[in-house]
Amino acid sequence: MAKRILRINMTELKAAYEPVPEKWARWAGRGLTTSIVCDEIDPMCHPLGPNNKVVIAPGWVSGSPAAPSSGRTSFGAKSPLTGGIKESNAGGLSSQMIAKLGLAAIIVEGTPAKGSWYTLVVSKDGVKFESASDLMGKGMYEVDELLWKKYPKTAVIGIGQAGEMKLSNAGISVNDPENKPGRYAGRGGLGAVMAVRGVKAMVIVDEGGPGVEIANQDLFKQGRKKLTESIQEHGLTKKGGGLNAFGTAVLVNILNEAGGLPTRNFSAGQFEAAAKISGEAIAEVCEKRGGEGTMGHGCHPGCIIKCSNIYPDASGEAIVSCIEYETTWAMGANCGIEDLEFIAKMTRECNDIGLDTIEAGNTVAIAMEGGLLEFGDAEGAFKTFDEIRKGTPLGRILGQGVEATAKAFGVSRVPTVKGQSMPAYEPRAVKGIGVTYATTPMGADHTAGYTIAPEIAGVSGKLDPLSDEGKAELSLTFQAATAFIDSTGYCLFIAFPILDIAKGWEGMAESVAGVTGLNITGADVVPIGKEILKMERLFNEKAGFTAEDDRPPEFMREESLPPHNVKWTITDEQLDSVFGWVHEGQPA
């Protein structure tokens, strides 16, 4: 059975299946969410108005048998945080289950009667619209638990209190295999867009679904084998390798040593207590306390990298999954906090309330910069999340993210691009990632073009992170390759092995071609990715973005960053060259 679009109209409380139109037929994941957003959402609409939509799409290979680490879901909309197009990406149970229902995408549009909230139960039989009155005001831990009592072993997509309040830092939660809300389409405020649709939660029941058709079994198996072997061979992704043993927070000490770990609201590149909040420290706690604590946790079925963790309390009971690199940095170094217990508890608060941890940690750092708290005040930082949960005036300001909080507290060192705060890599010390932050249509986002691979990790060759040379071209190549990977359903971390091991790159493309029947080879990856980037770039231009929006914050040109005492030196002309090709051959 050919895949279909499921369109859910929240104004009429009706759902209908549609054939995938030819213009969208070759796309999946990010490529599909981007195509639908560009075709169906007015770039000038208010992100919280009636004309925005939430688009949810699994990747090309999601739901296919034994495709390794292929459980990523793309969520698309116009972002309340940036005002531009947004694709936010999550692990968890949703992608494979949506794909097994034979769905290319779910489009949620319209707005219900004021004050009406729903749980949407999506199964092979269509959509049931259930009242969500019993879930309102609840955090995602309780929501997931209640929905699994009614619909066991299903994917639960939902929003916490931040989403209900339509805050710009509201993410969309996806449950993990233990039914915990640790997997987030966190960036860009898409939880608020879901709230405008009156959707508190969606339950995906894949039982009895048609599954995923494989166009060419032999080619799919060949590609899957090459990719799996490459993941299992690479030092960062193999069992017992860096990501498996220490999680993404293995990067804390590495970035700190490189002078690129943003500290105390991007005022320095090294944190004196980095070792205390590192992946090695997290692994030590998990081993010492035992119980539910573990490294090497998988965020979705079929993951063979397993970079997640479950952080336990002193009795071995789980506090939270997962403390990522970006999370331990945002709640830790960037706030001057060196206590893993508080970092774990603040991460749990974000998962429950429905907040992006990167934006949340950066916001606390801004509040510290503005005098609400002292840097290093873990108790005070933890209490701010209760303000957000309760929706107090202060909590609503903090829940709107970095730029709103900076205005409220009169702060000028504001690490944002296009309204979204920067992740855990200092652009002055790692220039390529700074180009990505500045130019990606997504707002400051490391996952949009992860040049950390060559600049810090030495993947696909080692580049000097402090050098400006070639970084515009580097960023564009990584942005394009990433747009393709985000369309596959594969985890972005397959980038490490496929960049170093040629058969892995071939295998990724072959597995996609095998599932879809499309004529895709490794040589097509970057060109296809550029097609997606072009759509996103043009959407943002129609939304009013110009080249002036592709700039790092002013303070990075003015302030020298210790310990290298470097400033942002890449020119505006270099930044403009990244997307200079978009209008080539088009009428002015």
CATH label of the domain that carries residue 583: 1.10.599.10
127 shares its domain with 267: no
Of 443, 465, 433, 488, whose CA–CA distance to 223 is shortest?
488
According to DSSP, the residues that pair with 55 across neighbouring strands are: 76, 107
Our measurement of the distance from residue 585's CA atom to the centroid of its chain's CA atoms, rounded to an integer in Å, reads 33
pLDDT digits (tens, 9 = 90+) for 492-517: 999 999 999 999 999 999 999 999 99
Give the whole-number percent of the chain exceeding pLDDT 90. Answer: 99
586 — pLDDT class (breaks 50, 70, 90): low
Q: Kindly give, in sequence order, each residue whose CB lies less than 8 Å from that of residue 445, ignoring residues fewer than 6 positions away.
A: 187, 420, 423, 436, 437
Across the beta sheet with 126-131, the strand order is 126-131, 118-123, 199-204, 155-158, 172-174, 183-185
Last residue of a domain, one of 174, 204, 234: 204
DSSP 367-422: HHHTTSS-TT-HHHHHHHHHHHHHT-HHHHHHHT-HHHHHHHHT-----EETTEE-
Residue 431 lies in a domain: yes
pLDDT of 571 strictly over 50: yes
Over the stretch 23-60, which tens digit does the pLDDT of each residue have? 999 999 999 999 999 999 999 999 999 999 999 999 99
Residue 172, classed as helix, strand or coil, is strand
**Same-domain check for residues 79 and 117:** yes
Asked if 28 and 167 sit in the same domain, the reply is yes
Distance CA 431, CA 454 (A): 12
**SS3 of residue 8 by DSSP:** strand
- Contact in structure between 95 and 57 (CB atoms under 8 Å): no
173 DSSP 8-state letter? E
Report yes or no on 236 lying in a domain: no
516 in a structural domain: no
pLDDT of residue 218 exceeding 90, the answer is: yes
Q: Which of residues 204, 222, 257 is at a domain's end? A: 204
> Is it the case that residue 588 has pLDDT exceeding 90?
no
Is the bond preceding residue 563 a cis peptide, omega within 30 degrees?
yes
The answer on 357 and 250 residing in a single domain is yes
**Helix-, strand-, coil-residue percentages of the chain, each rounded to 5:** 40, 15, 45
Shared domain for 265 and 326, answered yes or no, is: yes
Give yes or no: residues 115 and 87 share one domain: yes
Question: Tokens 């549609």 appear where?
Answer: 18
Sequence-distant (6+) residues with CB within 8 A of 383 are none
User: What confidence tens digit (pLDDT) does each residue in 434-464 have?
Assistant: 999 999 999 999 999 999 999 999 999 999 9
Query: What mean pLDDT do residues 203-212 have?
Result: 98
CA 329 to chain centre: 16
Co-location of 348 and 388 in the same domain: yes
Kindly provide the residue ranges of all beta strands, DSSP E only, lying in 388-502, ordered along the sequence.
Answer: 416-417, 420-421
3-state SS, 348-370, equals HHHHHHCECHHHHHHHHHHHHHC
pLDDT band per the 50, 70, 90 thresholds, residue 538: very high
268: helix, strand or coil = strand
Cβ-based neighbours of 580, under 8 Å, separated by 6 or more:
none
H helices present in 3-51, as ranges? 29-40
Q: Is residue 238 part of a domain?
A: no
Structure tokens given for 139: 């955090």
Distance in angstroms (rounded) separating the CA atoms of residues 113 and 131: 12
Q: Decide which of 406, 424, 442 is a domain's last residue.
A: 424
Is residue 210, in this structure, part of any structural domain at all?
A: no
507 in any annotated domain: no
Judgement on whether residues 17 and 147 belong to the same structural domain of the protein: yes
Distance CA 411, CA 408 (A): 8
User: Domain for residue 506, yes or no?
Assistant: no
**Residue 183, helix vs strand vs coil:** strand
Note the pLDDT tens digit of each residue in 55-108: 999 999 999 999 999 999 999 999 999 999 999 999 999 999 999 999 999 999
What is the number of structural domains in the chain?
3
Phi, psi dihedrals of residue 207, rounded to the nearest 5°: -55, 130
| Per-residue model confidence (pLDDT) at position 59 | 98
pLDDT of residue 584: 87
Closest by alpha carbon to 333, among 284, 434, 260?
260
| 114 and 147 together in one domain | yes
Instruction: Please tell me whether residues 480 and 358 are part of one structural domain.
Output: no
Place of tokens 């309760």: 390
CB 181 within 8 A of CB 140: yes
Interval 351-360: pLDDT, tens: 999 999 999 9
Strand-pair partners of 184: 173
Q: 10 Å Cβ neighbour count for 396? A: 17
Give the per-residue pLDDT at 265.
98
Q: What is the pLDDT of residue 2?
A: 86
Tokens found for residue 358: 């990167």
CA distance linking residue 173 with residue 322, whole number of Å: 13
Cα distance between residue 490 and residue 73, in whole Å:
9
Q: What phi, psi does 389 have (nearest 5°)? A: -55, -40
What's the average model confidence in pLDDT over 404-418? 98
Residues 447 and 398 in one domain: no
**Helices 340-353 and 279-289, axial angle in degrees (round to 10):** 90
Token pair for residue 227?
A: 């990719």
Largest Cα span, the chain: 66
For residues 237 and 500, the answer to whether their CB atoms sit within 8 Å is: no
* pLDDT of 256 strictly over 80: yes
The range of the structural domain enclosing residue 21 comes to 4-204
Return the structure tokens found at 303.
């993951």
Residues 371 and 468 in one domain: no
CATH of residue 326: 1.10.569.10
